[in-house]
Amino acid sequence: MQSYTVQPAKSVRGEISVPGDKSISHRSIMFGSIASGVTKVTGFLRGEDALATLEAFRAMGVQIDDDGETVTIQGRGLHGLSEPTDVVDCGNSGTSMRLLTGLLAGQNFFSVLSGDKYLRARPMKRVVGPLAQMGARISGRAGGEKAPLAIQGSKLKGIDYDSPVSSAQVKSAIMLAGLYAGGETVVREPHLSRDHSERMLRAFGAHVETFPGGVKVRGGAELTGRDIVVPGDISSAAFFMVAALIVPGSDLLIRGVGINPTRTGIIDVLKGMGGDLELTNQRDESGEPVADIRVRHSKLTAMEISGEVVPRAIDEFPAICVAASLAQGTTVVRDAAELRVKETDRISAMADNLRRAGVEIVETPDGMKITGVAALKGCAADSFGDHRIAMSMMVAGLVAQGETSVSDTECIATSFPGFVSLLEGVAQR
């Protein structure tokens, strides 16, 4: 088990680019594989999660070539996938498993999805349930709640589904099944979750219509391959935004970051806390808005984080917790129960780690209360096998008094290979 020790930094300075967006990378492989013709992807994230999706489609007969610059997908069309000869390994990737469950539900073959011990512990009924309403035949441990999942492809029908959670994975799984279903499939959610699937499926030629509170998909449309440019992942940039805000004397430019409005909750929250963040060079790439983000050290103030901003910042909460731990006052997080069913229970994991660093934290069922301190203490932190917990605590270590060691850091490779070297490259000591 790898661990990493972080020394305090005097400032965080320079210009960086972060790896490609994980959500868009996953979808580029999936949609390109079921499109007709060639799809070329630049900026693809070569992290373990996205590579698990790539290997899954290779296992279903799709030719995918990667020269290190461009990933080229020879699309097989909507009904061109082949039955995999073995269990499809999704690794640690919830996106791979949940979206593939929806896509495979409408095929004419049998498949089994599994993953590592962390993924096999995550809830799957949230997609298995609505897919069953469409006619999907899916079985798994604990009545379909846990992987491995066995999927016997079948004829599907469109449904009108009110999702109890705002989850892009749930929405996208149902949308993908909707491509193969008769009639129209409608998904509604409490608050708008990230909309990469809607944007990209429409670009590939699917019949997708968005409306306030939801999305409609009409089955049967053939998709056509296209070129995709993947922007930098705002979830990866979030660690560097927080680092530059909390380390005195910092001034950092992060180039080419995706600023899809369903993902910019992190910017809204950090600005709401008094953070100095400036978006420059705004542009559009492959239907996704992109910008450079300049961040300078700022004195942060506590705030309440709840409601519609939560699903727009759901993956960034571990980093937000670090910012809140140094903000003046008590930050209150509500409506974030979804954090308890991520790679780990991120509410408990961050509370545990930041308490070790001297922060007063009270957990609630759907969030937490974080009372900021003047300075963090160096500590022995535990990633709990979660890449975002690991990276957040390494950022916290930049301002802690004394060394901070973070255990089980191999998990960082799932989303951000090269994180450590990039962080050390901008940390001035």
In tens, the pLDDT along 256-309 reads: 999 999 999 999 999 999 999 999 999 998 889 999 999 999 999 999 999 999
> Which has the closest alpha carbon to 43: 64, 25, 65?
25
Is 10 found in the same domain as 102?
Answer: no
| Whether 170 and 242 share a structural domain | no
Q: Is 346 annotated as a binding residue?
A: yes
At 99, is the pLDDT very low, low, confident or very high (cuts 50, 70, 90)?
very high
Average pLDDT over residues 76-104: 97
**Does residue 368 share a domain with residue 306?**
yes
* Mean pLDDT of the chain, nearest integer: 97
Are residues 96 and 195 both part of a single domain?
A: yes
**pLDDT the model gives residue 1:** 77
pLDDT confidence band for 96 (50 / 70 / 90): very high
169 is an annotated ligand-binding site residue: yes
* Residue 3 annotated as lining a ligand binding site: no
Q: Which of 229, 245, 280 is where one domain is finished?
A: 229
177 shares a domain with 62: yes
Please tell me the distance from the alpha carbon of residue 50 to that of residue 65, in angstroms, as a whole number. 14
Is 122 part of any known ligand binding site?
A: yes
User: HEC string of 334-391?
Assistant: CCCHHHHHCCCCHHHHHHHHHHHCCCEEEEECCEEEEECCCCEECCEEECCCCHHHHH
> Pick the catalytic residue: 89, 315, 386, 408?
315
Residues 306 and 159 in one domain: no
Mean pLDDT value of segment 354-375: 98
Residue 242 confidence class, pLDDT cut points 50, 70, 90 = very high
Quick one: average pLDDT of 119-138?
97
Query: What single-letter DSSP state applies at residue 247?
Result: S
Q: Is the per-residue pLDDT at 189 higher than 90?
A: yes
For 396-425, write each residue's pLDDT tens digit: 999 999 999 999 999 999 999 999 999 999
Number of domains in the chain: 2
For the chain, percent of residues with pLDDT exceeding 90: 99
**Does residue 270 contact residue 299 with C-beta atoms inside 8 Å?**
no
Asked if residue 13 belongs to a known ligand binding site, the reply is no
Express each pLDDT in 215-233 by its tens digit: 999 999 999 999 999 999 9
Q: What is the pLDDT of residue 341?
A: 87
CATH number of 125's domain: 3.65.10.10
Average pLDDT score over residue span 238-266: 98
The verdict on 145 and 173 lying in the same domain is yes
pLDDT confidence tier of residue 176, bands split at 50, 70 and 90: very high
Check whether 125 is labelled as a binding-site residue: no
Does the annotation flag 255 for ligand binding? Answer: no
Together in a domain, 185 and 57: yes
Please state, in angstroms and as integers, the Cα–Cα distance from residue 253 to each residue in 221, 257, 278, 395, 429, following that order: 42, 10, 9, 17, 19
In contact, 203 and 389? CB cutoff 8 Å: no
Instruction: Kindly state whether residues 330 and 252 are assigned to the same domain.
Output: yes
Place of tokens 């035949």: 137
Domain boundary among 180, 205, 229: 229
Q: Given the DSSP bridges, would you call strands 214-218 and 184-188 parallel, antiparallel or unpaired?
A: antiparallel
Q: Are residues 173 and 198 in the same domain?
A: yes
pLDDT in tens, 376-400: 999 999 999 999 999 999 999 999 9
For 104, 253, 260, 322, 341, the CA distances from 265, given in Å and listed in that order, are: 32, 19, 10, 16, 19
Contacts of 69 by beta carbon, 8 Å cutoff, 6+ apart: 42
Query: What is the pLDDT, as a whole number, of residue 185?
Result: 98
117 belongs to an annotated ligand binding site: no
Helices assigned H by DSSP within 72-226: 94-104, 125-133, 141-144, 168-180, 196-204
pLDDT of amino acid 111 = 98
> Are both 240 and 191 inside the same structural domain?
no
Confidence band for 369, pLDDT divided at 50, 70 and 90: very high
Here the tokens at position 293 are 């983000």
Task: Evaluate the omega torsion of the peptide bond into residue 148 and state whether it is cis, within 30 degrees of 0.
Answer: yes
* Residues spanned by the domain of 292: 3-20+231-428
| 181, 134 Cβ separation under 8 angstroms | yes
Contact 406, 394 (CB under 8 A): yes
In this structure, the dihedral spanned by the alpha carbons of residues 300, 304, 307 and 312, taken in order and rounded to 10 degrees, is 20
pLDDT at position 285: 87
Mean pLDDT confidence for 194-198:
96
Q: Are residues 70 and 188 in the same domain?
A: yes
315 belongs to the catalytic site: yes
144 has a pLDDT exceeding 80 = yes
pLDDT (0 to 100) of residue 179:
98
Domain boundary among 176, 210, 229: 229
